[in-house]
Amino acid sequence: MKPWRAVPALLLLALLAAGCDNLAKQPRSKTWQPADDQYSRKTWPPAPAEHAIAREDVTQPVPPLSVALLERGHERFNVYCSPCHGFQGQGDGMIVKRGFPAPPSFHIDRLRSAPTQHYYDVITNGWGVMYSYADRVEPTDRWAIAAYIRALQESRNANIAELPQSVRESLQ
């Protein structure tokens, strides 16, 4: 082999070796020291204001029951609740069919006798395996979903004798 053919390979090797030297000498901040542009632990997080109230701690008024509220609740229920609870609130949603734990049916006696506030609180704070939806569902939509759950419960357990005559005739 001729010595002049090895020169380009040696030159390339020398350039690569020179570039690697800088990696070991890069400036860095130590992980145990606060960065210069960050707040120190003495001032961060700032202390809460004396009379501040968290948004979640303010009780939201219950909106009046209306068709628009139920329609909004139906829409929001289908988006946020039906993957686990199913479209009819039986606890047989698509997530459950894929192996996740089944939530209880909304039609059991315990949940039928629960106050409507319970559903609002569960959406806000979570319950059991269900995590909080407070950052996803607005408070007015939480009330709409709770109203729709009540409508689901009533529709499943309605007494036909209590229905108006025109509705009973349409069912036959």
Contact by Cβ (8 Å): 106, 150 = no
User: CB count, 10 Å around CB of 164?
Assistant: 8
Query: Domain for residue 28, yes or no?
Result: no
3-class DSSP state for residue 78? helix
Q: Would residue 92 count as lying in a domain?
A: yes
Token pair recorded at residue 8: 């380009």
CA distance from start to end of the chain = 100
Do the domain assignments include residue 46? no
**What is residue 165's predicted lDDT score, i.e. its pLDDT?**
84
Q: Does any domain span residue 29?
A: no
Would 41 be classed as within a structural domain? no
pLDDT at position 81 is 95
pLDDT per residue of the chain (172 residues) written in tens, 0 to 9:
576 777 888 888 877 777 666 666 666 666 665 555 555 555 555 556 666 666 656 677 889 999 999 999 999 999 999 999 999 999 999 999 999 999 999 999 999 999 999 999 999 999 988 999 999 999 999 999 999 999 999 888 777 887 788 877 887 6
Residues 54, 124: contact at Cβ < 8 Å?
A: no
Q: What is the CATH number of the domain that holds 74?
A: 1.10.760.10
63, 69 Cβ separation under 8 angstroms: yes
17: in domain: no
Q: For residue 106, is it within any domain?
A: yes
- pTM, whole model, 2 decimals? 0.64
Count of domains for the chain: 1
State the virtual CA torsion across 117, 119, 123, 127 in degrees, nearest 10: 110
The identity of residue 48, as a single letter, is P
Name residues whose C-beta falls within 8 Å of residue 90's C-beta, 6 or more positions apart in sequence: 105, 106, 107
Residue span of the structural domain in which 89 resides:
64-156
